[in-house]
Amino acid sequence: MDYYSKTPEDKRNNRLASFARVYGEGHITTKTCDRLASGEWLEVFMAVELDKLVGFSVYGEGLSATVIRPDYRGKGLATILINMKTSKYPDNTAIVSLDNTASLQTMFKTGYIIKGYLYPHLVIMARN
């Protein structure tokens, strides 16, 4: 597995949006996918195996998303990618759906805590 980061100038933006639409399982909003496609982000941290994107965690102003292919989940990739992102952007916050228990567990595991509620089913999380 290879891990690296890219900026929007890399021009792989549509690849990220397509990946999020396919593997986000309804947790990645259309607005987030549109922002991924348009390059409205500062940096993306990627996991690649045999030249295949298997996961990413993106950071931008008001934008934070992590998506992992289902066949690679449970292997610590999200933890690695989120830690890469927050080591460079410690002020990163995330909005997580309360029904997405895997994401909540990963966020807690990487040092995030619930800072507030956006809606009854969405929490705002940040590093402690």
pLDDT tens digits along 20-67? 999 998 888 888 888 888 888 899 999 999 989 999 999 998 888 999
Q: Which pLDDT score, from 0 to 100, does residue 12 have? A: 53
Cβ atoms of residues 25 and 47 within 8 Å: no
The total of other beta-carbon atoms located within 10 Å of residue 17's CB is: 21
Find out whether 111 and 128 touch, Cβ atoms under 8 Å: yes
pLDDT at residue 9, as a whole number = 75
User: What is the average pLDDT across 57-82?
Assistant: 94
Percent of the chain with pLDDT over 70: 96
CB 40 within 8 A of CB 64: no
At 23 the pLDDT is 94
Mean pLDDT of the chain: 90
Instruction: Using the predicted structure, report yes or no on whether residue 86 has a pLDDT greater than 60.
Output: yes
- The domains found in the chain, sorted by start residue, are 2-127 (3.40.630.30)
* 89 or 14, higher pLDDT: 89
Q: Write down the pTM of the prediction.
A: 0.89
